[in-house]
Copies of this chain bind each other. A is one copy, B any other.
């Protein structure tokens, strides 16, 4: 049984469409979280921290736009809108609220799945372009979710992967504590800088040649952390 390729949140009130979408996603090997209204969607987003969110606009309690804005306050996760509103203005409004894609009903599953693939591509693509990073004796392949050190496979936990992924997306640049905490642990843990220290140590122990003198997982005191990858050039 292959590990779930990704966690995907589906916020949709129509039970028929929801089942339809979720089973298609599950068939692709994804772990799916379902929410029937905006309030639950917002909660599930923070608790499950999905890799991609699919959000309907016409929800019974609040407008789906509010869900998107709520997510955007703490995470850049890809958001795909799934809506019956086909007017151009609705699309523009959704995009400017932070949506990354917009699919109008009726839609084809194949297209939706393809757009999810694109979103996942964006979510893991590091700044250096390639899927695999080289860090001295170690390599990290974000798309395959694998890491090696001196040729041997190193096991990284989901949280560890999330963290390296977040750092790798901005390779070479400093990523602030708040941003890391928001993307990895959700908006309820923005103050728990402690988690960062612990997981940084684990990553350094697993991937750095000399964990006591890290050369790739650099700490920027008072600001955040930075991942320095070797130039593949």
A100 with B88: CB separation less than 8 A: no
A114 with B129: CB separation less than 8 A: no
The smallest beta-carbon distance between A42 and chain B, in angstroms, is 18
In the bound assembly, the distance between CA atoms of A100 and B115 in angstroms comes to: 8
B125 with A127: CB separation less than 8 A: yes
- Contacts A144-B172, A157-B221, A158-B223 known; list 18 others, CB within 8 Å: A76-B125, A76-B129, A88-B108, A88-B110, A89-B110, A91-B110, A91-B114, A92-B113, A92-B114, A95-B118, A101-B101, A122-B122, A125-B127, A128-B173, A143-B173, A145-B174, A145-B223, A146-B173
1/0 per residue, CB under 8 A from B, across A104-121: the answer is 000010110111011000
The smallest beta-carbon distance between A11 and chain B, in angstroms, is 19
1/0 per residue, CB under 8 A from B, across A67-93: the answer is 000000001100000000000110110
Copies in the complex: 2
Q: From known contacts A144-B173, A174-B145, infer whether A222 and B92 are also in contact, taking CB-CB under 8 Å.
A: no
Binding site for B on A (CB under 8 A): 75-76, 88-89, 91-92, 95-96, 99-101, 108, 110-111, 113-115, 117-118, 122, 125, 127-129, 143-146, 157-158, 172-174, 220-223, 226
Chain B residues lying within 8 Å of A174, measured Cβ to Cβ, are 144-146
Chain B residues lying within 8 Å of A128, measured Cβ to Cβ, are 172-173
Chain B residues lying within 8 Å of A110, measured Cβ to Cβ, are 88-89, 91-92
In the bound assembly, the distance between CA atoms of A145 and B223 in angstroms comes to: 10
Chain B residues lying within 8 Å of A111, measured Cβ to Cβ, are 88, 91-92
In the bound assembly, the distance between CA atoms of A117 and B118 in angstroms comes to: 17
Chain B residues lying within 8 Å of A129, measured Cβ to Cβ, are 75-76
